[in-house]
Structure 1
Amino acid sequence: MLGPFGSRQGSLLYLLAWLMFGAALAWLLAAATGVPLAAALLFVLPLALLYGVAAGFSSYFLCRVHPLGRTAAWRLFASFVFAAFCMSALWTAAASGWNELLGGAGVVWNRSLGATIFGLGLILYGMCSVANYLVLAIGRARDLETRELQAMVAARDAELRLLRTQVDPHFLFNSLNSVSALTTIDPRAAREMTLQLAEFFRRTLGLEARGRITLGDELEMIGHYLAIEQVRFGERLAWQEDVEDAARACLLPPLILQPLVENAIKHGVARRLEGGSVRLSAACAGTLLRIRVENERGDDQPAGASGGHGLANVRERLLHAYAHEASVQSSEEEGMFRVELLLPLETREN
């Protein structure tokens, strides 16, 4: 139903308010005329409920038909005055008929009582109209706020998807270059790398629909990526992993670490004649998940390098996923390039 009966709870509160008003009016009627309170309640309460329902619906639909600011003032005034007079006249006639049905149990009907009921009906109709305008204004403001929030969420999700889709082409471009280089040097290794690449992308299918995955799942994906790079670098690539068991169950955006590992290999291992190592560590620190990716700086890598597009992509994704609750810090110390992530500690339980 519409209007004052938009919900069950609202309907009960609305009718309760009219019952309280009817009880107060009956007490005043009994005090003013000397009619027993029981007779006054029997006369007033049904009339109060009847007028509450009729005036509530009538004023609600008038408010919907004549919105403020889009209806001429004279038309608005004329419509509500006419409706108020009609509703008050019908309420007065209903009160007279109800009193006749009650017979001796009712109140003494006279012109003064009829005029009082008519005037009260006008005032109550005006109050119902004002209340309905307020309710409609609040509802419109709430709908506008909801639409704005939905638009913000949709925009953020679209930007996250855009940032997420930047990972795969970048990684695919580097991998295909590696396959191309291996086809003339080691065709068997090129074939193995192609199979590993297909397996990697097969496992990434569907990750877009998952807002969060566990660190354990992320490390499994990194393992497939490392298998691809291991074909290319062989013993030149050394991988070290130090992850707490509790940290493996923590949640994070999918493929958020793969660009960091890729950067560590591209700017570190690949640029060292003797190769190098990549170390990933993760631990829970209070309400935060601390993840660190380290690698030896490449021979021709300039000091203070920021990590390129991969690190910038990770920063943007974390900013949109966690706002300012997450941080990314990069540093260089004694020839080691280090990237440290601090994320809110989330698990499937919390």
Structure 2
Amino acid sequence: MQAVMQGALGTRRSTALYLAAWLLLGSMLAGLMHTAADAPWGASLLFAMPLTLLYGCASGFSSYYLCRAYPLASRPLFAVLGVFASSAVCASALWTVAGNGWSELLRGAAPGMPASSVPFMTRPFAATMFGLGVILYGLTAVAHYLALEFERARLFERRELEMKLAAQDAELRMLRTQIDPHFLFNSLNSISALTSIDPAAARGMTLQLSDFFRRSLGMDAQRMVPLTEELALARAFLAIEQVRFGARLRFEEAVAPEAESCLLPPMLLQPLVENAVKHGIGNRVGGGMVRIAAERTGSLLRIRVENDADEEGAQVRTSGCGIGLANVRQRLAATYAHEASVHWAHLGETFRVELALPFETVPVMET
């Protein structure tokens, strides 16, 4: 019974609310009998409550399955009204007959009781009960139609959200696939340049490159990674580049401890560090410094990537050449929408990129 009730009326909470509403209607029917038939309150409640609950369950199941069988969107309105009108009349007539039988049963069960203390179905009360049954059946059907429309709207919203998430994931995968070939192309150029100058360094860079891709491929299956993993990948990349640049490439980081556990899209910093080396350090005869700083500011994580750069290198990066900055901006927009931002500027002999994104961490599981 409970499983069927849940199937027709939804969750246990909605079932309890539904039955509570019918109990309230039962008390109103008892009050009507107390007034119209001049029956005591106790006898009126004994008569009305079982009948009302019975009619509530019967009309609830009947109208629910009729609402399923006759959806408003696919059936003519007059046909639906005709079906429910005939069903309401039949159900109300049966309810009235059941009420008359229940009254006679109560009178037969208490032969010694005064006639005034036993509920009696008069004709006016029976007519009133019949009309009330028709109205209640119609209201039950309307309630079921509203519940079905709400369920349909919620299902539509859920599917729309799933489609948006699928499109977002596809966009993120497309943007991430742009990073690996771009980085590999630059790295192979570096190895090619070292082959004729320093074969041993070229072999070392090849091994480090292999290790770098092994680590980066492990991040491909993750939607979000801690900042510590991003920093480790950035250090691995800089170690590869230092094989080519030597002492010309220096690295410095200043990361607040509370920022290390923040989650962000994988390989978000790597294209920024790669651009810092390619367009900044690579264009300076004396090399320069790459600096990464991160801190938490309220509900935001702020990351700053800086590098020493001359005017020509800054112009190359801000003119749109390469995919690093554009890729980072698109990935932030796809992941966080308007909640994240990226800005860059050339300040004297320093090129700076600043990221701001929501501070999110992995929730701690309680043991």
Which of 168, 174, 186 is 2:180 aligned to?
168
Is the partner of 2:315 in helix, strand or coil? Answer: coil
Work out whether residues 238 and 277 of structure 1, in 8 Å CA contact, stay in contact via their aligned partners in 2: yes
> Is 2:265 aligned against 1:277?
no
Question: Displacement, 1:13?
Answer: 0.6
CA distance in 1, matches of 2:185, 2:300: 34
Given that residues 311 and 349 in structure 2 are in contact (C-alpha distance below 8 angstroms), is that contact kept between their aligned partners in structure 1?
no
Matched residue, 1:100:
104
1:323 aligns with 2:327: no
Match of 2:147 in 1: 135
Is 1:86 the counterpart of 2:86? The answer is no
Alignment pair present for 1:220 and 2:232? yes
The Cα shift of 1:258 comes to 0.7
1:77 is displaced (CA, Å) by 2.2
> What is the number of residues matched between the two proteins?
350
Where does structure 1 differ by over 4 angstroms across 4 or more consecutive aligned residues? none
**TM superposition shift of 1:312:** 0.7
Are residues 1:42 and 2:35 paired?
A: no
CA contact (8 A) 2:279 2:317 kept: no
CA drift at 1:299: 6.9
Percent same amino acid among aligned pairs? 55
Cα distance in 1 for residues equivalent to 2:299 and 2:90:
65
Match of 1:199 in 2: 211
Matching residue of 2:358: 344
The answer for the alignment partner of 2:65 in structure 1 is: 61
Please list, as runs of the form range in 1=range in 2, the aligned pairs for 1:114-263 lying within 5 A after superposition: 114-263=126-275
* 1:66-77 map, 5 Å: 66-77=70-81
Aligned residue in 1 for 2:32: 28
Q: Which moved more, 1:188-197 or 1:243-252?
A: 243-252
Distance in 1, Cα, partners of 2:126 & 2:37: 14
Q: Distance in 2 between matches of 1:33 and 1:196?
A: 95
Q: Give the SS at the match of 1:211.
A: coil
Q: 1:3, 1:60 within 8 Å by CA — same for their partners in 2?
A: no
Residue type of the alignment partner of 1:128: T
Structure 2 CA distance for partners of 1:24 and 1:158, relative to 1, 3 Å: same
Cα distance change on mapping 1:76 and 1:172 into 2, 3 Å: same
SS in 2 for 1:25: helix
Q: CA RMSD in A?
A: 2.0
Contact preservation (8 Å) 2:37, 2:122: no
1:210-234 deviation per Cα after TM superposition (whole angstroms, max 9, x unaligned): 2322222211111111111111222
Contact 2:314 2:351 (C-alpha < 8 Å) held by counterparts: no
| SS of structure 2 residue aligned to 1:35 | coil
Q: Of 303, 326, 336, which residue of structure 2 is paired with 1:291?
A: 303
Q: Give the Å deviation of 1:158.
A: 1.6
Alpha-carbon distance in 2 for matches of 1:122, 1:152 = 45
* Letter of the structure 1 residue corresponding to residue 225 of structure 2: I
Range with bigger deviation, 84-93 or 201-210:
201-210
Deviations 1:289-329 (A, max 9, x none): 22211112257436374264101111111122222222211
Decide whether the 8 Å contact of 1:91 with 1:121 is kept in 2.
yes
**Distance in 2, Cα, partners of 1:118 & 1:56:** 17
Gaps of 5+ in 2: 111-117
Which letter maps to 2:28?
A: A
Residue equivalent to 2:55: 51
- Counterpart code for 1:342: A
Q: 2:26–2:49: 8 Å Cα contact kept in structure 1?
A: yes
Are the aligned partners of 1:277 and 1:295 in contact in 2 as well (CA < 8 Å)? yes
Deviation of the 1:111 alpha carbon: 3.3
Q: Is the 8 A contact 1:3 1:61 kept in 2?
A: no
- Amino acid aligned to 1:337: F
Deviates further, 275-284 or 250-259:
275-284
Tell me the distance in 2 between the aligned counterparts of 1:149 and 1:303.
41
Residue equivalent to 1:311: 325
